[in-house]
């Protein structure tokens, strides 16, 4: 039986990763996952499955659609949760940065949208 780097049998790692995916799905079904968290949780769970099953397995072999990731990366603006995730802060911290005038969201839609350029400007200006 193949062993992984952490010396657990691969079947055990796959079982653990599958269990993590099931927990994510249960949280989604129960409504306990915010939209911004969903992508992060699914990527982490899928990554665990990929690592456990085969380090040489290509994403396309798992049905992973790289085009959908490209569409996401082409967004011009992000909602509050996505923007917070993009700059690695909590949504509350993003709110505080906005109140302090350090980040300027767009409000044409009635809810704050954070342009990618604005987030990049903030990161550049606060080095």
pLDDT in tens, 67-84: 545 555 678 889 999 999
pLDDT at position 42 is 66
Q: What is the pTM of this model?
A: 0.45
CA atoms within 13 A on the CB side of 53: 13
- Burial of residue 28 (CB within 10 Å: 0-12, 13-18, 19+) is middle
Is pLDDT above 90 for 97?
yes
pLDDT class of 98 with cuts at 50, 70, 90:
very high
Spell out the long-range contacts of 5-13 with Cβ–Cβ below 8 A and sequence spacing 24 or more. Answer: 10/52, 10/53, 13/48, 13/51, 13/52
pLDDT class of 93 with cuts at 50, 70, 90:
very high
Is pLDDT above 70 for 34?
no
pLDDT at position 23 is 76
pLDDT at position 117 is 92
Secondary structure class of 9 (helix, strand, coil): strand
CA atoms within 13 A on the CB side of 92: 0
Task: Single out the residue of 111, 31, 52, 44 nearest to residue 77, CA to CA.
Answer: 111
């Amino acid at each position: 039986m193949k062993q992984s780097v952490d010396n657990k049998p691969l079947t055990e790692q796959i079982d653990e990763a599958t269990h993590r995916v099931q927990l994510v799905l249960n949280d989604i079904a129960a409504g306990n996952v915010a939209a911004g968290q969903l992508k992060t949780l699914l990527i982490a769970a899928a990554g665990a499955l990929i690592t456990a099953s085969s380090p040489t397995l290509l994403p396309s072999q798992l049905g992973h659609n790289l085009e959908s990731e490209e569409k996401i990366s082409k967004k011009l603006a992000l909602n509050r949760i996505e923007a917070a995730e993009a700059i690695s802060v909590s949504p509350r911290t993003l709110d505080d940065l906005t109140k302090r005038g350090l980040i300027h969201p767009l409000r044409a839609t009635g809810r704050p949208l954070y342009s990618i350029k604005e987030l990049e400007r903030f990161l550049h200006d606060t080095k």
